Amino acid sequence: MSQSTSCFNALKHWLIGLFCGGLVAYTLATRFLWFYQQNNFDRLLLLILLTFPLSVLFSLVMGNIRMLLAKLSARVWLIGAALATLLTAVGLFVLPYQWPAFPAERTLVVRPICDDRGGEVALTKIERLAYPDAQPIPVLVDEVHLENWQVHGDGFYVNCPINARLSFKEISSGGVVLHFLQGTNAGKVELNWNGWLEQIDLSGSETTGRIVRLTGNPAWGSLSVTWKLLTGLEVLSDFFSIAGLLFAAWVVFLGLWQSRSGVSQWLKFFPLLVSLGVLVNLMTFVAIEQANVYRLRRLPDNHLLTLDENSYDKKKNLPVYLYLLSHAGGQILRAPTGLMADLDLDGRMFVTWSRLTTFEEADYPMQLSGKDADALRTRPHDVLAARSGLPFTYHMFSFPAGVKGVLCMQRYEEEIFVAPADLLPGCGGQP
């Protein structure tokens, strides 16, 4: 064989490896590494970093595949190729194939529908999805544009003023999740999601939550030529990657089945395959973090309350137990009968976690008057404001240092007062 022919064959060999590596790299990058969400430089870097080792791997593997193919009859490997193509086609087009979620500008507009019934609309939370199946991540209040809506905590409220409009716009591959409150006072709302309109009636006999999930890609026709090329290429690379892997698996298994001695040559690919796995893991690390609400972040201190505040999945009323642990150890806590159930508090935890001496339920009025509540608020105390995981606002009054006694609880609307017994009239004292 002449030198030029062998050079040509070697070049052909590596080019085929590069082509296969590039296709699989594109599939990995778009499916696992949020390729579309990166900027152009990062996209290029990602492709180069993935294509290079994959191309080397394919070029090395191809020699072995050729040797195995040479041992099989043409009919056998044609059957394999046909099966791989058929299985891939079925998988992609019959089973629910997740079409690539490409980033585009997505707009949400929420308007109350003010009819004769009127009614308020309570949108308690908006969450974004990095991609359609991602874990929802809360949208901050500052990211939402409001006209005549009110903000309360993490949510938004309106009661049919003129021209009330809430809008949220971003470039993403996913969608949004809206948390509404249904109830007797609730009205209707119109949602405009990327130009698609829907009306939702939030009225109901009892107050419950209602979740509306808005996903979906913009229409194919609205995409630019670049995005059409990119998403088309993804479908193509998915097809060739899956079919190619299935075919290679078919050849390898048949080859290994026929010859045990051929196994040892795969040993050299063990460190290569594991190294590739490490590389992919490192490259997916940040992307996985960004797509999850639960992600590694440094806490400002080592307190349990801080741990709870930074948890997405909060233990209900934990701040109350922890406050009492650090400020009221050794005290007795008394609550009116039935209040624990209303507040979803566990009296046992006051002893076992908050380290109070005793918790007892007593027969005294649950409700505080407005005048008494106003008087109490003027005294120095700590406030645990209502938030996620803490449904009510707690006003916490302490004994002077070194003094032990009885702490009582009483309620005024959505506020709970925990104070020494002599400060709460119902429990035996004057504020």
Partner 1 sequence: MNQIFFFVGLAVLGWIFLLPLRRFLPASFMSLSGVLWGMWLYVLGVLLSLFIFGRCTGGTLGMLLVLFGLVLGGILRYTRQDVIGVRPWRTDLGWLLGSQLALAFVALAVQRFNFSLATVDSFGQIWLGRSLAYPDSAWQEIGRLGTHGALVPILQSASVFLGVEYLTALSPALAFGLAGGFTSLCIYALRQHTGFSIAMKYGVLLAALMFSTNFIIFQSVYLHTAFAGAAYLGVAVGAFWLGIRLRQNAWLGLGVAALLAYSVTRIEAPLFALIFLALLLCAGGLSYSQRLGVALPYLLSMTIWFGLLSTITGGAKFLTPERALAMSGGFLVCALGVLLTRWRRLEGWMSFVPRWMSLVLLCVLLVMIVLRPTHMIESSSAVLINLFGEGRWGATWWVLLILALVGWRRPRFTGEALFSAGIPSFALLVVALAFLRTPYHLHWWDSANRMFTHLLPVMILYMALKYTSEIGGGKQDAS
DSSP H or E segment with residue 280: helix 269-290
307 binds partner 1 (CB under 8 A): yes
β-partners of residue 181 are: 209
**Nearest-angstrom CA–CA distance, 187 and 181:** 10
Question: In the bound complex, what is the minimum distance in angstroms from residue 349's beta carbon to partner 1?
Answer: 7
Among 133, 143, 344, 360, the residue binding partner 1 under the rule CB under 8 A is: 133
Q: Is 308 in the site for partner 1 (CB under 8 A)?
A: yes
The window from 143-151, 154-162, 228-236, 299-307 that contacts partner 1 (CB under 8 A) reads: 299-307
Question: Does 93 contact partner 1 by CB under 8 A?
Answer: no
* Choice from 159, 311, 367, 393 touching partner 1 (CB under 8 A): 311
What are the two backbone dihedrals, phi and then psi, of residue 140, each rounded to the nearest 5 degrees?
-75, 155
Nearer to partner 1, 104 or 325 (CB): 325
Which of 298, 378, 400, 414 lies at the binding interface for partner 1 (CB under 8 A)? 298
Q: Which region among 75-83, 108-116, 281-289, 377-385 touches partner 1 (by CB under 8 A)?
A: 281-289
Instruction: Identify the DSSP state of 417.
Output: E
Distant-in-sequence, close-in-space partners of 400: CB < 8 Å, separation ≥ 6: none
Closest to 292 measured CA to CA, from 281, 283, 284: 284
Question: Rounded to whole angstroms, how far apart are CA atoms 122 and 153?
Answer: 12
Kindly state the smallest distance separating residue 277's Cβ from partner 1, in Å: 4
Q: What is the DSSP string of 357-398?
A: SEEEEE-S-SBPPHHHHHHHHTS--EEE--BTTB-SEEEE--
Sequence-separated (6 or more) residues with CB below 8 Å from residue 425:
368, 372, 431
Contact with partner 1 (CB under 8 A) among 233, 351, 366, 375: 351
261 belongs to the binding site for partner 1 (CB under 8 A): no
| Region near partner 1 per CB under 8 A, out of 5-13, 78-86, 170-178, 345-353 | 345-353
Per rule CB under 8 A, is residue 271 in the interface with partner 1? yes
Does position 280 interact with partner 1 (CB under 8 A)? The reply is yes
Q: Decide whether 349 or 427 has the Cβ nearer to partner 1.
A: 349
* Rg from Cα positions in the chain: 32
**Judged by CB, which is closer to partner 1: 50, or 164?**
50
Give min distance, CB of 346 to partner 1, in A. Answer: 10
Is there binding between residue 75 and partner 1 (CB under 8 A)?
A: no
Residues in Cβ contact with 306 at an 8 Å cutoff, skipping those fewer than 6 apart = 299, 300
Told to check if 95 binds partner 1 by CB under 8 A, we report: no
Measured between alpha carbons, how far is 54 from 49 in angstroms, rounded to an integer? 9
Under DSSP, is residue 21 helix (H, G, I), strand (E, B) or coil? Answer: helix
Considering only residues 10, 15, 278, 385, which one is a binding residue for partner 1 as defined by CB under 8 A? Answer: 278
Q: Which residues bind partner 1 (CB under 8 A)?
A: 32, 133, 135, 249, 252, 256-257, 260, 263-264, 266-267, 269-271, 273-278, 280-282, 284-285, 288-289, 292, 294, 296-299, 301-304, 307-308, 311-315, 318, 348-349, 351-353, 355
